[in-house]
Structure 1
């Protein structure tokens, strides 16, 4: 069992990255809106967890904006053999910013889960 054949150097994945960076935040926004609608219909007061979910959504949109800009201007999604050294350096900057934004998204979601759990503590998983 071997590796699949390599893609030609002129084939890039930039369009797939941009599509994913547009579709998934829309799905996340719909989920957050559904959460607020459900809370309003049940007449439940909004808590810290609701606001932290909105913060996580904003951080997610920021992270994906960074990735889209990296795809458009830095060559993310293309083979490194086709890129200049400036584009490769820009890619590393984009990846660093994306990791930092990802950490912010995960922390906001974790604090949201913590504040909504009955014991106020995260479950061990």
Structure 2
């Protein structure tokens, strides 16, 4: 029996993730400062869509909701996601990263293609 589970489809096409990647969130990670830097992959076929909070070692935090990052392939571990969040956003003095949600979506099958009108 496979350890992969399928989440209900919403407005995006979701990809199977290992069972623990879906059920053990939220989780907090301490990204390795020496981790390989994130490089955007504009030709990638998949993205990770996530919610996260990054606490800073000197106080304060930033939160991301439904944030999208290109990924190589169709899978990523939450540990690696924490590393690329810090790298992609060039967050200095980043401390713990808490990932509260993540899912893999196929490029073009999510709502970031809809323009949002500018409000005055």
Bucket of the pairwise TM-score, normalised by the shorter protein: under 0.3
More helix by share: 1
Identify which of structures 1 and 2 has the higher relative contact order when contacts are C-alpha pairs closer than 8 Å and 6+ apart: 2
Q: For the pair shown, which has the larger CA radius of gyration, 1 or 2?
A: 1
More strand by share: 2
TM (norm. structure 2) is 0.22
